[in-house]
Amino acid sequence: MPPVKKEFLAKLIDGKAIAAEINRENAAETAVIAKEYGAAPGLAVVLVGNDPASQVYVSSKVKKCAELGFYSEKIVLPENATQEEVLSVVDSLNRNPAIHGILVQSPPPPQIDEQAIINAIDPAKDVDCFHPLNVGKLLLGDLSGMLPCTPWGVIQLLDRSGISPAGKHAVVLGRSNIVGKPMAALLMAKGKNADATVTVCHSRTKNLAEITRSADIIIAAIGKPEFLRGDMVKEGAVVIDVGINRIADPSAPKGMRLVGDVAFDEVAPKASRITPVPGGVGPMTIAMLMNNTIRAFKAAMKKK
């Protein structure tokens, strides 16, 4: 977590602590599964190429599997792998009964058609919740299957901080398939942790600041460093910062530091609750990925 002024500490939503709590629950469930079934949830992570950031993400997912008692496989394909090679790996993982979750790390090299790969993953093993069937179920309000990791992590942050979106005006900044759209779908779903009135903003939105000023809850996911300023937020709003941006900082040890999409020092004085970057939404994504893998395992056992 970045250094935070003492007066803002009480407002912080500590994603690192909440993710650790969810991972303790994940580990406990995995232990029960081991006893009941003599088996473990299995996650396969496929990496195509040698993008350094992707390598870090893949390693941290595999490490988390080991910590929780999962079975995991890491499959690395070369930078020049063909579409057919990736599809063949996905096909064999689809048929592998020890694997309950498959994820192909994004972004793949340019010769790979990412959507075609996603479409080839068995929807029951689609732990990223990117397959059209799972996206469709989400929009239909069926939350019984796979759930989108980062947006579901945001919902968990709200729930475990005692914040209900019901009847609130929630403004989602960003309409990507990974964050913005599924975030909006979860917030507008019916029932617990949902029932919000949702506005989605994007790069063509007019009068964006007017819209954010009317928000009770703002979810910022646009990938622009410190985009949301203090004068764009009303007093008492809850602000969730999904953004992860690397900016140059000669005073930092690596010459760079991470900032979110929210100008924390300006927004924190007005917000009632706020997430930091890092240490907010970031750690939740892997925790929810692991949780989806457990859900996929349980669904597979029910089918047997």
Q: Compute the least distance from the CB of residue 304 to ligand NDP, in Å.
A: 33
178 binds ligand NDP (CB under 6 A): yes
Cβ burial, residue 173 (10 Å; 0-12/13-18/19+): buried
Cβ burial, residue 204 (10 Å; 0-12/13-18/19+): exposed
128 belongs to the catalytic site:
yes
Q: How far apart are the first and last CA of the chain?
A: 44
156 belongs to the catalytic site:
no
Site for ligand NDP in 249-288 (CB under 6 A): 281-282, 285
Q: Which lies closer to ligand NDP via its Cβ, residue 121 or residue 221?
A: 221
Please answer whether residues 241 and 275 qualify as being in contact, where contact means their C-beta atoms are separated by less than 8 angstroms.
yes
Which residue from 175, 189, 273, 292 is in contact with ligand NDP, where contact means CB under 6 A? 175
Residue of 292, 19, 15, 302 lying closest to 147 (CA atoms): 292
Please answer whether residues 45 and 55 qualify as being in contact, where contact means their C-beta atoms are separated by less than 8 angstroms.
no
Q: CA-CA distances (angstroms) from residue 257 to 100, 238, 271?
A: 36, 24, 23
- Of the listed 105, 125, 137, 261, which one is catalytic? 105
Q: Which lies closer to ligand NDP via its Cβ, residue 69 or residue 223?
A: 223
Which residue from 144, 203, 207, 251 is in contact with ligand NDP, where contact means CB under 6 A? 203
Q: Which lies closer to ligand NDP via its Cβ, residue 166 or residue 247?
A: 247
103 binds ligand NDP (CB under 6 A): no
Site for ligand NDP in 20-49 (CB under 6 A): none
Q: Compute the least distance from the CB of residue 224 to ligand NDP, in Å.
A: 5
State the maximum Cα–Cα separation within the chain, in Å, rounded to a whole number: 57
Give the three-state DSSP class for 141. Answer: coil
231 belongs to the catalytic site:
no
- Of the listed 14, 122, 126, 128, which one is catalytic? 128
206 binds ligand NDP (CB under 6 A): no
In the chain, the amino acid numbered 20 is A
Catalytic residue numbers read: 61, 105, 128
Applying CB under 6 A, the residues found at the interface with ligand NDP are: 150, 173-176, 178-180, 201-205, 208, 221-224, 242-245, 281-282, 285
